[in-house]
Amino acid sequence: MGKESEHASVRLDRRSVLSAAVFSLMGAICAAIGAPSVVYLLSPYTKGRNREWLDGGDIGDLAQDRPRAVSFFGERMDGWNRQREKMTAWVVKGPGGAVAAFQPSCTHLGCAFHWAAAQHEFICPCHGSRFGADGAVLHGPAPRPLDRYEVRVEGSRLWLRIPGPREADPS
């Protein structure tokens, strides 16, 4: 009886060792394929942005505090294609003559806003966010002021650039 139970426990051990081996081998395979797959699926696939200065045209006749939608062309990597596409900026000449250019989508959920001259506000048609001519939020739900382009003015010619990922980002 005692001998038999000893025999059984040895067999049980062999069984669990083999089981553990099967599980570890399968686990190792799943990890070795799974880890690169997660990286494959979740890593950013567009390296860098277009940081060239783009020609926004002549703004010599831009009146102070009267925002104007300016169209220009920029290049963007869309997956494996380099796309030349039309872009828009709302260009405003501030009180001191300084020029700002706002990106054309609302900081709430990305709808295209427009300038309502009568109210002297940018109004987003989706959820009613309102912004001042300086881009500041006048009324929610927009969480932050309008996003800007970097601008440079040479004479009366406007140059625009898409800002880096984070202004404070050392890279």
Partner 1 sequence: MRAVTRWLEERTGAGAAVRNFLREEIPGSAGWPQAFGSVALFLFLTQAFTGVLLTLNYAPAPTEAYNSLQFIMREVAGGRLIRGLHHWGASMMVVVVVLHMIQVFLYGAYKRPREVTWMVGVVLLLITLGFGLTGYLLPWDNRAYWGTVVTAQIAAQTPVLGRYLQRLMGVETGVGAVALIRFHTLHTIILPGLALLMVTTHLLLIRKHGITPSAVERRPARTFHPEQAFKDAVAVFAAFVVLFVLAAAVKAPLERPADPTDSAYVPRPEWYFLFLFQALKAFTGPLEPLGSVLLPAAAVGLLFAVPFVDRSRMQRVAERTAAMAAVALATLAWASLTAAAVLTTPTPGGAPAGRRPNTSWRESAPEQLAGLGYFHRARCSSCHNLAAGPPRPGPNLAGLASARPAEVLIAHFQQPGAAGNGDFLRPTGLAPDQLETLAAFVQGLTSETAAALSEAPPEITAGAQIFVANGCGGCHKVNGSGGTLGPSLNGVGGRRSRDWIAQRLRDPRLQSPGTVMPAFGFSAHDRDLLISYLLSLPKE
User: Are residues 133 and 65 in contact, defined by beta-carbon separation less than 8 angstroms?
Assistant: yes
- 80 belongs to the binding site for partner 1 (CB under 8 A): yes
Question: CA 163 to CA 53: how far, in whole Å?
Answer: 10
Question: CA 51 to CA 22: how far, in whole Å?
Answer: 52
Q: What sign does the dihedral 30-32-35-39 (CA atoms) show?
A: negative
Give least dist CB 26 to partner 1, A. Answer: 6
Between 17 and 116, CB nearer to partner 1: 17
Question: Where in 1-30 is the site for partner 1 (CB under 8 A)?
Answer: 14-15, 18-19, 21-22, 25-26, 28-29
Between 24 and 119, CB nearer to partner 1: 24
Between 21 and 69, CB nearer to partner 1: 21
Question: Where in 138-167 is the site for partner 1 (CB under 8 A)?
Answer: none
Question: Where in 27-66 is the site for partner 1 (CB under 8 A)?
Answer: 28-29, 32-33, 36-37, 39-41, 43, 45-47
For the chain, how big is the Rg over CA atoms in Å?
30
Q: Which residue has the tokens 């109210």?
A: 119
Between 20 and 111, CB nearer to partner 1: 20
At 67 the three-state DSSP class reads coil
Question: CA 8 to CA 10: how far, in whole Å?
Answer: 5
Calculate the CA dihedral of residues 17, 21, 23, 24 and round it to 10 degrees. 130
Among positions 81, 117, 167, 170, the unique one binding partner 1 when judged by CB under 8 A: 81
Q: Which residues would be at the binding site for partner 1 (CB under 8 A)?
A: 14-15, 18-19, 21-22, 25-26, 28-29, 32-33, 36-37, 39-41, 43, 45-47, 79-84
